[in-house]
Chain A
Amino acid sequence: MTQPILHVRDLAVAFDIRPQGAWPWTKPLKLHAVGGVSFDLAPGECLGVVGESGSGKSTLARAIVGTIPATSGEVLFEGQDLASMSVSERRVHRKDVQMIFQDPLAALNPRMTVGDIIAEPLTTHYPQTPASEVKARVGELMERVGLLPNLINRYPHEFSGGQCQRIGIARALILQPKLLICDEPVSALDVSVQAQVVNLLAELRRDMGLSMIFIAHDLSVVKHISDRIAVMYLGKLMEMAEAKTLCTVPQHPYTQALISSVPIPDPVLEAARKRPILEGELPSPLAPPSGCVFRTRCPKAQASCAEAPPRVEVLEGDHRVACPFHAPMDVLERA
């Protein structure tokens, strides 16, 4: 395997939560948004991250980009530890890792023209670039992401959600980053536009040789674009495998539940299939269950699950599962 572009080891992010009405000197509660996540990302690879709301996907993305400080663990980007860098060093490094946001309109400053928004990374990192070149680059990129360059002086509120997301993509790509982190880039768009944006991203990734981390809560979207998929639950990685393997032979009970919750557009098959349905709610990340965090909702939970966090087992084809009772689900039953 080639040198990974991104190497994440035991990354943990915790937030201090001060209960309402507490004394100033009481210790704040720790909200463990991400706990001990490790993975490698090869150059040009796309890793999909799925999980339900509150599973720490976005926090993971922000910790890698660096807008939220990591509590522990390391994030090595091309062998350099991003977490231990000084603020100014870090700022220089930001041009290699760019991010696309969930809410396309909210991610654009309403008082700036589209041209200024897209040019901002360029004018920030290369302030001496002549204005004509900036304009040419912006026009080029707008065309590349499917926007007409003559819209350069428009404002974000004059665009649709899909167009705004294209603007966000153009802004992320103007510095030709090596790693692109997409934080639920399509969840705020409607389905037809989702497909366009996902296809655009896939195309750009192929053409520019981007590495990507693609976060979504919709498995079918992630499956389409990713090489590998990681499944998160309550800040922990549950399972990580090749996209196809994960979708056809999921090993972890949580992944199995996730996959079987995707509806089949055929009422006969839909009614006939057996599926493990998850009960209850996501436990509070303020007081996660001991041992395996999924045990409170797991259909296969045993007494031993409460004792220690499950060891990650590596199966054939770098298929990682954090469950000692993993077993493939009957695929025929599913489809």
Chain B
Amino acid sequence: MTMQSVAGDVSGAEVIEGRSLWQDAKRRFLKNKAAVVSAFVFLFLCIFAFFGQFLSQYDRETIDFTLMGANAYKGVPSFETGHYFGVDSDGRDLYARTVQGLRISIMIGIVGSLVAGIVGTLYGATAGYLGGRVDGIMMRTVDVLMSIPFMFVLILMLVMFGRSITILFIGVGLISWLDMSRIVRGQTLSIKNKEFVEAAVAIGVSPAKIILRHIVPNLIGVVVVYMSLLVPTMILTESFISFLGLGVQEPNTSLGALLNRGAGALQSGVTTWQFYFPLTVFIVLLFALFFIGDGLRDALDPKDR
């Protein structure tokens, strides 16, 4: 205790604000330079993804006929024509398409990790806290769901219900919580044997309240870290699906679909920028997210305390 807080104790008049573990974690996170820079980069990418289209005079689907047949030398990235990232091989503005693709990718990542965070946490915490037979049934269900090859099911769903972004969101949401529930259950098992949980039982707090008030807040560190690492995984999954041509449909696009087209262009060797611009955005996004996840893990790791 510092002298100052001792003085505060003695006066006893004003209420002293405590410093919660969250505030400690925030301080540690802010000390991590790579994580802070990445957080700003991610913020910038989000702003870019949602408002970037206003900077361009072109939209994502209109073909610029003035460049017809001359994409390879007139459609190069240039500020003069207003095609900042050039045009794709169809003559559509690549800047507008990248902005829109990034938006879809970020949304997929956030939806996937939010579903994982909410469903997975509640499911895992309930299974872990109740234990016994309930735990057995709940976790074996997860095992069964995990044993189904997810990519195969997602592709089947997209084929059966039509290729739409909604199905993709549902598909990603359906599987993303499985891993999370396992991790959370494991953590819950160690938390539920702590004395403060026993104290809550002895006080007479109901099981639902114990899970929500005592277990989940102590899990959040692990959950947040895992969620932040899940965002890139979800983006990669979506990119893979779109790369196969099953995800987002024209004229909409996503980073995966753009890379798919770009890879084709790379092969023909004409509009090669079509590959490099989305790739740069993609790599910057993934790196930023991984560094944020890393920073969160260091900040929230209970062993650091």
**A positions within 8 Å CB-CB of B:** 62, 65-67, 90-95, 97-99, 101-103, 106-114, 120-121, 124-125, 148-155, 157-158, 168, 171
B16 at the interface (CB under 8 A from A): yes
Q: Are B201's CB and A150's CB within 8 A?
A: no
Q: Is the CB of A153 within 8 A of B16?
A: yes
Closest residue to A175 on the B side, CB-wise?
Answer: B203
B204 pairs with A113, CB closer than 8 A? no
A183 (CB) vs chain B CBs: closest residue:
B195
| Chain B hits for A99, CB < 8 A | 199, 202
Given A107-B199, A108-B196, A111-B217, the answer on whether A158 and B204 have CB atoms closer than 8 Å is no
Closest 8 CB pairs of A and B: A154-B18, A94-B204, A111-B217, A107-B195, A91-B204, A106-B195, A109-B196, A155-B18
Checking B12, B19, B204 against A148 with a beta-carbon cut-off of 8 angstroms, the contacting residue is B12
Minimum distance in angstroms from B38 CB to a CB of chain A: 26
Which residue in A90, A98, A110 is a CB contact (below 8 Å) of B218? Answer: A110
B20 to chain A, nearest CB (A): 5
Q: Once the chains bind, are A107 and B205 in contact (CB under 8 Å)? A: no
How close is A84's CB to chain B, nearest CB, in angstroms?
17
- CA gap between A43 and B97 in the complex, in Å: 79
Q: Mark contacts of B1-19 with chain A using CB atoms, 8 A cut-off: 1 yes-contact digit, 0 otherwise.
A: 0000000110011111111
B31 within 8 A of A: no
Please state if B20 and A155 are interface contacts (CB–CB under 8 Å).
Answer: yes
Binary per-residue interface labels of chain B (283-305) against chain A in the complex, 1 for a CB within 8 Å, 0 otherwise: 00000000000000000000001
How far in angstroms is the closest Cβ of chain A from B190? 12
- Distance of A152 Cα from B205 Cα, bound (Å): 21
Partner of B204, one of A92, A153, A171: A92
B201 and A158 form a contact (CB under 8 A): no
Question: With the chains together, A150 CA to B203 CA distance in Å?
Answer: 25
What A residues does B16 contact at CB under 8 A?
150-151, 153-154
179-231 of chain B: CB within 8 A of chain A: 194-196, 198-206, 209, 213-214, 217-218
Beyond A109-B196, A113-B20, A121-B204: 12 further Cβ-contacts under 8 Å?
Answer: A95-B204, A106-B194, A109-B213, A110-B218, A111-B217, A112-B217, A120-B205, A124-B209, A150-B13, A153-B16, A157-B305, A158-B19
Return the chain B residue nearest A99 by Cβ.
B202
Smallest Cβ distance from A161 to chain B, in angstroms?
13
B196 contacts across to A, CB distance below 8 A: 106-110
A98–B12 contact, CB under 8 A?
Answer: no
Beta-carbon contact of B206 and A120 below 8 Å: no
Q: Are A111 and B202 in contact, CB atoms less than 8 angstroms apart?
A: no
Q: What chain A residues lie within 8 Å of B146 (beta carbons)?
A: none
B21 contacts the other chain (CB 8 A):
yes
**In the bound complex, CA of A93 to CA of B204 (Å):** 8
Interface contact A111-B199, CB-CB below 8 Å:
no
Q: Are B9 and A101 in contact (CB under 8 A)?
A: no
Residue pair B203, A113 in contact (C-beta under 8 Å) = no
Residues of A within 8 A of B213 (CB): 109, 112
> How many angstroms between the C-alpha atoms of A90 and B17 in the bound complex?
36
List 15 A-B pairs, Cβ < 8 Å. Answer: A101-B199, A109-B213, A109-B214, A109-B217, A111-B20, A111-B21, A112-B217, A120-B205, A125-B204, A148-B9, A150-B13, A154-B18, A155-B20, A155-B21, A158-B18
Kindly list chain B residues whose C-beta atoms are within 8 Å of the C-beta of A62: 198
CA distance A290 to B290 in the complex (A): 62
Q: A155 touching B19 by the CB < 8 A rule?
A: yes
Q: How far, in angstroms, from A67 to B194 measured CA to CA in the complex?
A: 13
* Residues of chain A lying within 8 A (CB to CB) of residue B203: 94, 98, 120-121, 124, 171
Q: How far is the CB of A278 from chain B (nearest CB, A)?
A: 30
User: Is the pair B195, A102 in contact by a Cβ cutoff of 8 Å?
Assistant: yes
